[in-house]
Structure 1
Amino acid sequence: MVTALLLSGCATENLPPIPDGIPPGPGTPVPVIDIDAPGRTAAQLREWADNQSDALNINSTALQAYGYAAAVMARSKPDCGIAWTTIAGIASVESKHGTFRGARVGADGTVRPPIIGIPLDGSPGVALVKDTDGGKLDGDPVNDRALGPLQFIPETWKRWGVDANGDGVIDPQNIDDAALTAARYLCASGGDLTSQHGWQRALLTYNQSNSYLLTVRNRAAAYSVGRRA
Structure 2
Amino acid sequence: MVEPTESVAADERTPPHRSWSSLLLTAGVVATGLVLVLTVGVTRPGAPRTDPAAGPGAIAAATTTPSLVPSAGAAAPRSAVAAPVDHPQASDLAELDNWARRLSAATTLSNAQLAAYGRAEMWLRGEAPSCRLSWATLAGIGQAEAAGTGPLPVPDAIWARFAARATQDGKPADRMNIDDAAYAMARYLCSGGADLSTAGGWWHTMLDYTRSEPRAAEILAAADTFAAARPGG
Q: Please report the TM-score for the alignment, with normalisation by the length of structure 2.
A: 0.61
Give, in whole Å, the separation in 1 of the partners of 2:88 and 2:203.
28
Look up the match of 2:179: 176
Aligned mate of 1:160, from 148, 159, 162: 162
Who is 1:89 aligned against?
Answer: 140
Cα distance per residue 1:57-85 (max 9 Å; x no partner): 00011000111101111111111111111
Total equivalences in the alignment? 159
Q: Give the AA of the match of 1:176.
A: D
Q: Secondary structure at the residue paired with 1:150? A: coil
How is 1:26-65 mapped onto 2 (pairs within 5 angstroms)?
26-34=79-87, 44-65=95-116
Residue 152 of structure 1 deviates from its aligned partner by 2.1
Give the superposition deviation at 1:223: 1.3
Q: Does 1:70 align with 2:100?
A: no
d(CA) in 1 for partners of 2:112 and 2:89?
19
| Distance in 2 of aligned mates of 1:173 and 1:183 | 16
Q: Scaled by the length of structure 1, what TM-score is found?
A: 0.62
Secondary structure, aligned partner of 2:180: helix
| Structure 1 Cα separation of the partners of residues 152 and 209 of structure 2 | 10
Q: Is the 8 A contact 1:81 1:192 kept in 2?
A: yes
Q: Name structure 1 gaps, 5 residues minimum.
A: 3-19, 101-116, 118-146
CA contact (8 A) 2:166 2:179 kept: yes
Please tell me whether the aligned partners of residues 86 and 123 of structure 2 are also in contact (alpha carbons under 8 angstroms): no
Match of 2:78 in 1: 25
2:93, 2:74 → 1: CA distance? Answer: 29
Which letter does structure 1 place at the counterpart of 2:83? Answer: V
Shift of 1:43: 5.8
CA RMSD after TM alignment = 2.4
Further displaced range: 204-213 or 66-75: 204-213
